[in-house]
Amino acid sequence: MTGKAGIAVFISGSGSNLQALIDASREGRLAGEIVLVISNRAEAYGLVRAQKADIDTFVYDVKKYPDKEAACRDLMELLEEYQVDYIALAGYLKLLPDALVTKYRGRITNIHPALLPRFGGKGMYGHHVHEAVLASGESETGATVHLVDEIYDNGRILLQGKVPIIPGDTPDTLAARVLEMEHKIYPEALDNLIKGMYK
Ligand code: GAR
């Protein structure tokens, strides 16, 4: 027991935002400790990052349970066991069960690779977002950290960071620029939230 807020990070892929949160926590820039990393995909590279940082991991595969209720119960028990106070979604591409959202309301964050409320919603993840942003002819984009509710990308916006769109950008070059901003604002927003700075 550290007395710090316990954070569970949910991932589906590379986990570079998870890495930014791990680094911030280790460097004292995040008022919490990552106690558990959960992935819906066993092959997500973020699980390797967690293991390298000596953080426990769990693969949450709803299909392994008899029904959604049993899956949700198991997940909630696990979060209790690890004394999780905050949940940070970091490239987690599934919707959380309603019971979990209800229990942790106001304590679940997500990072989105655009300036919400534009370019959000179901199906808007990863390259789909950057392709839509480029097609829109906007001159800037960015990243958003927001609270999670029952609807995709809908909860209160906590922090945004803008980046320019440069002529000749492709979804890849834009994604890289936005990702760099994500790594800056996610630890900061989560730190602010844990410190009670969003009233
Ligand atoms: C990030 O760009 C994140 O904003 C995005 O997935 C990527 C995960 O990268 N999330 C969404 O699009 C959610 N709608 P990471 O695994 O390297 O952190």
Q: Is CATH 2.40.50.100 what the domain over 5-115+144-160+183-194 is classified as, yes or no?
A: no
User: Nearest residue CA, atom 9 of ligand 1?
Assistant: 91
pTM greater than 0.95 (yes/no): yes
Cα–Cα distances (Å) from 151 to 31, 99, 102, 135, 154, in that order, read 27, 13, 12, 25, 6
Distance 1 CA to ligand 1 centre (A): 30
Q: How confident is the model at residue 3 (pLDDT cuts 50, 70, 90)?
A: confident
Burial annotation 32-60 (CB, 10 A radius, 16+ → b, else e): bbbbbbbbbbeebbbbebbeeeebebbeb
The answer to whether 113 touches 182, Cβ cutoff 8 Å, is yes
Indicate which residue's Cα is closest to atom 10 of ligand 1.
Answer: 91
Asked if 112 is an active-site residue, the reply is yes
Alpha helix (H) ranges present in 10-67?
16-26, 45-52
Cα-to-centroid distance, 14 and ligand 1 (Å): 8
d(CA 148, CA 151): 8
Q: According to the model, what pLDDT value does residue 1 have? A: 43
pLDDT tens-digit map of 39-90: 999 999 999 999 999 999 999 999 999 999 999 999 999 999 999 999 999 9
